Structure 1
Amino acid sequence: MLRWSTQIHKWLALVVGLQVLGWVLGGLVMTAIPIETVRSEHHVASFQPAALPTDGLLSAAQAAQAAGVEPVEATLRTTLRGTIWSLKAADGKVRVVDAATGRPITPMGEAEARQLAGALYEGDGRPVAVRWFDEAPQETGREGPLWRVDFDDAERTSFYLSPETGEIASRRSNLWRFYDFFWRVHILDFKSGDDFNHPVLVAAAALTLPMVVTGLILLVIRLRRDWRGFRAQRAVRSRS
C-alpha cells in the first residue's frame, strides 16, 4: 500500500501539481478581493433615471414601423441621451430609436462620450483617454461598437459606453484583468474564459482526485508510524 500510494502520488503530482497550485492561488484571489470591487461598482455614480414622459411618445408598434423592424422584444426607457425604444429583432440585433420620432439615435461623438463617462464616474480619477471600437473587445462580453473611456485612478478603470444611449455597457480595470487571469487559470480556459466543462479541466480534476486520496493514505500511514514511535519512546523512558 505504501509503495503504490507513494508512486501514484509522486507521478500525479508531477502532472497536475502546477494546476493545483493555480487552483489554490486563484481561489485565494477570488475570495480575498470582493467581487463588487472587481466590477468597479464603487466607481459608478448613483443615477436616478428621469421619469418617462406621459405623452408625445410613440407606441411600440409605431416605433417598430418607423424603424422598419419586426421586434420580438421592445423596451421603453429613459437614458442620459433621452427617452428611447430598444427594439430587439428575432436575430438578436437591437435597434435603438428615439421614442418620440422613431428615428435612429445618432451615435455620440468623442466629446460627449468623455462628458457622459465623467458624469457616470465616482472617485478620484479623471478621464484621460477616449477610444472608439467598431467591434467591442472580448473583455467586455458585448457585441457591436462601443466607446471606451479610461480614467487615471489607481485601478485604471475603463468605462465602455453604448454609442446610442450613453449607458455603461461594461466596466473594466487592471484589477478586473488581474482577477480574470486567475479565473482563466482556475477553469483552464484561456480563450473565452467562459467554458468550465471542457475535457482538459475535467481530466485535470479527475487526475487530482487520486493524488489527494493517495496523499491522505500516506498521511495516515505516516501518522500511525509516528504514533507507534512515540509510544515506543514513552515505554523506554518509563522503564528507565
Structure 2
Amino acid sequence: MAKLTPMQNLARWHIWLGWLVAIPLLLWIISGVFMTLRPIEDVRGGDLRREPAPFAPQVLIAPRLDAPATRVMLVPQGPRAVWAVTGADKVQSRYSADSGTLLGPVGVTEARVLAELAYAGSARLTAIRRFTADQAPLDLRRPRPSWQAAFEDGTHIYIDAETGEVLALRTKWWRAYDFMWGLHIMDPAGREDTSHPLLWLLGGLSLITSLFGTALLLRRRKAAR
C-alpha cells in the first residue's frame, strides 16, 4: 500500500473530524439562526408586563419584626403594597404596609388576582398551579415556592407563594429561545453552564477541523495556480 503524503493524511483527518463535529456544528448554526428571528424585547415579553400602580408613601407602616432580617423590601401588589422580608434564617415572609402585621402565604385566589394585575396582554388566564421550591419549573430559574399562572397566549407569570412578588414573566418565545440556548451551549438540561468539558472538546475539535480545511483549501489553490 502506497504511503500517504502529509496532505493526504491531513485530508483524511479532516474528513473524520468533519463527521465527528457535523452534528454539534449543525446545532450551533440552527440554534444561532433561530435566536436571531425575534428581537430580544419580544422574547422577554416586556410589553406584556404591567407596571405596578403608584402608592402613597406617607401611609406606610414598618413591619413588626420579631427576629433579625437580612432584607426588607417594599413590593407593590395591585392597589396596595407589602413588605417582603427575608429573615436571618433565609425564610421569607410578607407584612402589611398598612398595619405592619404579618400576612400569610399567598393562596390560589390571591395568586390569580396578582397574576392578572401583572399581565398587560389580552389573553385569558387558563390555569394556575403551585410549585414547591425544589420542584420549580425550568423556565422560572429560581428555587422559590411559586404559583404559575398560564395564559392562553402561552405566557407564564410566576408569583412568589410566600411574598407575592412577581418572580418572572415567560413567553412561549422565551421558552423556545431558552431551549435553543441550551442546545447552543450543549447544556439542554440546565441551560446555564457555558463552560464545561463537552463544550471545550467539541469547540476545540471544530476549530481544528476548520484549520485543516483551510490548509487544504490554500494548498489546492496554490497547486491550481
Range class of TM-score, shorter chain: 0.7 to 0.9
Question: What is the distance in 2 between the residues matched to 1:225 and 1:68?
Answer: 84
Larger mean Cα displacement after TM superposition, 102-111 or 137-146: 102-111
Counterpart residue type for residue 57 of structure 1: I
| C-alpha contact (below 8 Å) 1:51/1:78 kept by paired residues | no
Change (3 A) 1:95 1:6: same
DSSP-derived class of the 1:137 partner:
coil
Aligned counterpart, 1:25: 30
* Structure possessing the higher radius of gyration over alpha carbons: 1
| C-alpha contact (below 8 Å) 1:79/1:165 kept by paired residues | no
Change (3 A) 1:92 1:112: closer
Residue-pair matches, total: 218
Aligned counterpart, 1:143: 143
Counterpart residue type for residue 145 of structure 2: P
| C-alpha contact (below 8 Å) 2:96/2:103 kept by paired residues | yes
Aligned counterpart, 1:70: 68
Question: What is the distance in 1 between the residues matched to 2:74 and 2:199?
Answer: 43
DSSP-derived class of the 1:68 partner:
coil
- Structure 1: runs of 5 or more not aligned: 229-240
Relative to the length of structure 2, the TM-score reads 0.84
Q: 1:57 aligns with which of 61, 81, 85?
A: 61
Change (3 A) 1:76 1:171: closer
Q: 1:161 aligns with which of 159, 162, 166?
A: 159
Larger mean Cα displacement after TM superposition, 24-33 or 66-75: 66-75
Question: What is the distance in 2 between the residues matched to 1:207 and 1:94?
Answer: 47
- Aligned-pair CA distance for 1:184: 0.9
Larger mean Cα displacement after TM superposition, 127-136 or 78-87: 78-87
Aligned counterpart, 2:3: none
Describe the superposition over 1:15-37 as per-residue Cα deviations: whole angstroms up to 9, x where unpaired.
22110111111211222222222
Change (3 A) 1:41 1:99: same
- Aligned-pair CA distance for 1:81: 6.4
DSSP-derived class of the 1:74 partner:
strand
DSSP-derived class of the 1:192 partner:
coil
Counterpart residue type for residue 139 of structure 2: E
Relative to the length of structure 1, the TM-score reads 0.80
- Aligned-pair CA distance for 1:89: 3.3
Aligned Cα root-mean-square deviation (Å): 2.3
- Structure 2: runs of 5 or more not aligned: 1-5
Aligned counterpart, 1:231: none
Counterpart residue type for residue 112 of structure 2: R
Question: What is the distance in 2 between the residues matched to 1:105 and 1:13?
Answer: 61
Q: Does residue 42 in structure 1 map to residue 47 in structure 2? A: yes
Q: Does residue 16 in structure 1 map to residue 21 in structure 2? A: yes
Question: What is the distance in 2 between the residues matched to 1:109 and 1:92?
Answer: 21
Question: What is the distance in 2 between the residues matched to 1:133 and 1:3?
Answer: 59
Aligned-pair identity in percent equals: 32
Alignment of 1:70-89 (within 5 A): 70-80=68-78, 82-89=80-87
Question: What is the distance in 2 between the residues matched to 1:145 and 1:5?
Answer: 56
Q: Does residue 180 in structure 1 map to residue 178 in structure 2? A: yes
DSSP-derived class of the 1:31 partner:
coil
Alignment of 1:216-231 (within 5 A): 216-226=214-224, 228=225
Question: What is the distance in 1 between the residues matched to 2:10 and 2:102?
Answer: 69
